[in-house]
Amino acid sequence: MAKTAQGRASGKIILMGEHSVVYGKPAIALPFEAVEVLTTVTEGEGDLTVNCAFYDGLVHEMPKVYESLKHAIRFSLYRLGVSQNPAIKIEITSTIPAERGMGSSAAVAVSVARALFASYEKELTESELWDIAQSSEKIAHGNPSGVDVTTISREQSVYFVKGQPIEILDVDLPGYLVVADTGHIGHTLEAVQHVADWIDIENQGGADLYFSPQGHIEILGELVAASKEALLDRDINRLGKLMNRAQGYLYDLGVSDASLEHLVQTAREAGALGAKLTGGGRGGCMIALASSADQAHSIAQALEQEGASQTWIQSLAKV
Ligand code: PMV
């Protein structure tokens, strides 16, 4: 066993396709390198301990709210063939804001699995990493589509359809993505349930619905497919328009909120080619598309002036 080992994972941004991805439609997601989780495993004394921003103590005494992290640790050890609590210390540091639609929980699970496998000097296969992180996500989020774990574990942009082979996307656009945190915790589970409830109502006869939730899911899927074409054609203007259209359908589905709408509007007024929420919504983060670094900076500045708690800028050009 190595005396010290580390595992890292970046965040992720869903460019297009949140929520509709739950219903078998495609999603486009990118690794978000500006934020990351770093897990360090060191040989300790006594029992298995974990130290992170929310908890410092024995793994077996972790409160229920950290069950997904506990599961990632236990499942990794199980896959490593370690049956008894090893005397190791697991330290987790993260710059990914939790519950903001940036894939924090998936990134924690991926970095923990990577660090533990590195500390036992064992190879971690893609399928093992998927099993560990996705089962941990199930505890955190109920029935996740898998787009977070796929993007974060592959460290590549993906065109993701639940249950289908992963398509890696070669993103190389002359533009920038501005990401802004509303500063409010997102409510992915609630938002996913809200969409499911509306689909149920529609299936039972529709009552007084003024739109078709399933129709919206279909259109969102089509917008994602069109976005893939725009990405491949390197047509940033078209992509921006598609993002704007997606936001309207997501709003109708009830997964946006006032803070997201305000920042989306602010970004558009500041010159963004397109702007929408990203991730589960109802709080969390939004994204805006900019055609130059200067424009990205002025959009970020406008977003911060209008209440964004934090902003980031990521180039969409291939490095
Ligand atoms: O909020 P996040 O980062 O967990 O993203 C959720 C994305 C959804 O499409 C709303 C749910 C899912 O399982 O894909």
136, 168, 200: which is the final residue of a domain? 168
Instruction: Determine which one of 131, 148, 200, 252 is catalytic.
Output: 148
pLDDT value of position 169: 96
Residues 299 and 203 in one domain: yes
Q: CATH number of the domain at 193, please.
A: 3.30.70.890
Residues 183 and 300 in one domain: yes
168, 184, 200: which is the final residue of a domain? 168
CA terminus-to-terminus distance, the chain: 35
* Ligand 1 atom nearest 20 alpha carbon: 9
Residues 162 and 30 in one domain: yes
**In the annotation, is 148 catalytic?**
yes
Contact 34, 44 (CB under 8 A): no
Contact 187, 98 (CB under 8 A): no
Residues 180 and 164 in one domain: no
168, 198, 231: which is the final residue of a domain? 168
Q: Identify the domain containing residue 163 by its residue range.
A: 4-168
pLDDT value of position 96: 95
pLDDT value of position 81: 95
Residues 88 and 218 in one domain: no
Q: For the chain, what is the radius of gyration of the CA atoms?
A: 20
* Ligand 1 atom nearest 145 alpha carbon: 13
Tell me how far the alpha carbon of residue 23 lies from the centroid of ligand 1, in angstroms.
12
Encoded tokens for 9: 């994972």
Tell me how far the alpha carbon of residue 18 lies from the centroid of ligand 1, in angstroms.
6
Residues 145 and 201 in one domain: no
pLDDT value of position 2: 77
Residues 86 and 216 in one domain: no
Residues 183 and 157 in one domain: no
The structural domain count of the chain equals 2
Residues 136 and 195 in one domain: no
Encoded tokens for 138: 């199930």
**Residue ranges of the chain with per-residue pLDDT less than 70:** 206-207
Residues 151 and 283 in one domain: no
**Ligand 1 mutation pick, 99, 145, 189, 260, max ligand atoms within 8 A of CB:** 145
Q: What is the 3-state secondary structure (H, E, C) of the chain?
A: CCCEEEEEEEEEEEEECCCHHHHCCCEEEEEEEEEEEEEEEEECCCCCEEECCCCEEEHHHCCHHHHHHHHHHHHHHHHCCCCCCCCEEEEEEECCCCCCCCCHHHHHHHHHHHHHHHHCCCCCCHHHHHHHHHHHHHHHHCCCCCHHHHHHHHCCCEEECCCCCCEECCCCCCCEEEEEECCCCCCHHHHHHHHHHHHHHHHCCCCCCCCCHHHHHHHHHHHHHHHHHHHHCCCHHHHHHHHHHHHHHHHHCCCCCHHHHHHHHHHHHCCCCEEEEECCCCCCEEEEEECCHHHHHHHHHHHHHCCCCEEEEEECCCC
Residues 163 and 36 in one domain: yes
**Which residues lie closer than 8 Å to 9 by C-beta, 6 or more apart?**
36, 37, 106, 107, 108, 110, 111, 114, 152, 153
pLDDT value of position 207: 67
Ligand 1 pocket, CB under 6 A: 18-19, 21-22, 101, 103, 141, 144-145, 147-148, 186, 188, 192, 279-280
Q: CATH number of the domain at 92, please.
A: 3.30.230.10
pTM of the model: 0.95
Cα torsion 261, 267, 269, 270 to 10°: value is: 160
With CA atoms as reference, report the closest residue to 2 among 121, 124, 122. Answer: 121
Residues 23 and 124 in one domain: yes
